[in-house]
Amino acid sequence: MTKLKDKYAILDRDGTILVEPFDKQVDSVAKFSFKLGVIEALIGLKAEGYKFILITNQDGLGTSSFPTEAYREVNDLMLGVLRSCGIVFEAVCVCPHFAAESCGCRKPSPSLLPLHIREGHFDKASSFLVGDRDCDLELAQTLGIRGLSCATKDWSELMKTRDQSRAWCFERVTSETAVRVRLSNASAKNEIRTTLPFFDHMLDALFRFSGLSVAIEATGDTDVGDHHLIEDVAISVGQVLASRASDKRGIQRFSQWTPMDESLSKISLDLSGRPSFEFVGAFPRDTIGGIDTEMLVHFFKTLAFEMRITVHIELSGLNTHHQCEALFKGFGLALRRALRSTGPGLVPSTKGVL
Ligand SMILES: [Mg+2]
Ligand SMILES: [Zn+2]
């Protein structure tokens, strides 16, 4: 099993974790207070498996204008309170210079950050930086991670924004096909171009009902048939959905059924980590929208194996188009139910792991 890369919340201090005082210098306990909701948010992030790094510019630290003892008293108090809540920083990076000194370590420079962060050896898609200044957001951009501004948002709003803006990408290029997929939590318009219009329409239905949105760009050797393209789209979509579903904490896990006029899809999912696929049903027509109907079954089978989940599909009906709608919408709805958050909590398994 490959080790998952670590995901990080990289945090500014003043104006982000602590309230920034009128003179912008937290040099006494009298000026010390946490920002609203920060501790609760960090506890939530820790439960999601995030690691923490602090990076802060402390102008003139160690000079007469900002004695080290005054800084240390406040900083130790902050770290102590957070540590008591289980929040520990993997690194605390402090630039002590004034802007006028033109040092090389002042934010937005990433030079104080640990080497594996600077070299990008971490889960960039899930990681983010929170700060209240432009230099913070610039640093996020340099690192290639999302930058969230807490200048005008409190931490509970910030965490909602983070959920909405999370995205998972997958790219697969072979001698037969090229597929790029970007999946997002936001319920935005889907952008799907697979060169198979009917397939685009069906994938749009799936994601519209899943509560997720997707951008898919796929091309391939459709001159020899649609098999390679549909299969590789399924592999790629399966991979991003597997990433999306990898955090099992607080999800619903199980799902149920979807009718479309006379057609009915009964789709049951178990985000179990064990690939399994059962299909019972038949299409009245061999092709629809220029696609072999057997490829629709193959699509879901491939998806199930890539996502490493159990999928049972029973499909009945008299109209192939209705059946397809019921099938793809049903899968989207089933996915939505299975991924729905039931609040922070335990992994839904008697074994404690999925
Ligand atoms: Mg700040
Ligand atoms: Zn510096």
Q: Which ligand is nearest to the CA of 135?
A: 1
* Mean predicted lDDT score pLDDT of the chain: 91
Whole-number Å distance, alpha carbon 341 to ligand 1 midpoint, is 32
The residues annotated as belonging to the active site are: 12, 14
Structural tokens at position 28: 């006494």
- CA angle, 282 as apex, 278 and 284 as ends, to 5°? 160
Q: How far is the CA of 59 from the centre of ligand 2 (A)?
A: 9
- 127 C-alpha to ligand 2 centroid (Å): 24
Burial track 67-80 (b if 16+ CB lie within 10 A, e otherwise): eeebbeebbeebee
Q: What is the dihedral of CA 337, 341, 346, 349, to 10 degrees?
A: 10
Ligand nearest to the CA of 107: 2
- Contact between 32 and 18 under an 8 Å Cβ cutoff? The reply is yes
Give the tokens for residue 221.
Answer: 């050797």
Give residue 1's pLDDT.
33
Residues with CB under 5 A from ligand 2 (ion): 95, 97, 103, 105-106
Question: What percentage of the chain carries pLDDT values higher than 70?
Answer: 94
Domain residue spans of the chain:
8-164, 167-339
Mean pLDDT of 79-89: 97
Is the pLDDT assigned to residue 342 strictly greater than 80?
no
Could you tell me the pLDDT band of residue 343, with boundaries at 50, 70 and 90?
Answer: low
Distance from Cα 119 to the centre of ligand 2, integer Å: 20
One of 3.90.380.10, 2.70.70.10, 3.40.50.12280, 3.30.230.40 is the CATH number of 167-339, namely 3.30.230.40
Lowest mean pLDDT among 118-122, 180-184, 186-190, 229-233: 186-190
CA of 85 to the centre of ligand 1 (A): 22
Average confidence (pLDDT) over 4-13:
90
Least confident of 26-35, 95-104, 165-174, 289-298: 165-174
- Is residue 133 within 8 A of residue 149, CB to CB? The reply is no
Q: Which ligand is nearest to the CA of 18?
A: 1
Would the pLDDT of 9 be above 70? Answer: yes
| CA 93 – ligand 2 centroid, Å | 10
**Confidence at residue 2, expressed as pLDDT on a 0 to 100 scale:** 37
Q: How many CA atoms lie within 13 A of 180 on its CB side?
A: 4
Side-chain-side CA neighbours of residue 106 (13 Å): 16
Assign 69 a pLDDT band (cuts: 50, 70, 90): very high
pLDDT over 90 at 28, yes or no: yes
Residues less than 5 Å from ion ligand 1, measured at CB: 12, 14-15, 132
Q: At residue 87, does pLDDT exceed 90?
A: yes
- Centroid of ligand 2 to alpha carbon of 109 (angstroms): 9
Give how far the C-alpha of residue 161 lies from the chain's centroid of Cα atoms, to the nearest Å.
Answer: 12
Report which bound ligand comes closest to the CA of 129. Answer: 1
Q: Can you give the pLDDT at residue 250?
A: 64
- From the CA of 136, which ligand is nearest? 1
Extract the tokens encoding 218: 């796929």
- The CATH code of domain 8-164 reads 3.40.50.1000
**Calpha distance 284→228 (Å, rounded):** 24
Q: Which helix (H) or strand (E) segment is 216 a member of?
A: strand 213-220
**Is pLDDT above 70 for 3?**
no
Lowest mean pLDDT among 122-136, 235-249, 291-305, 334-348: 334-348
* Alpha carbon distance 111, 324 (integer Å): 53
94 CA from centroid of ligand 2 (Å)? 8
Say whether pTM exceeds 0.75. Answer: no
Task: Please compute the mean of the pLDDT values over residues 183-207 and round it to a whole number.
Answer: 92
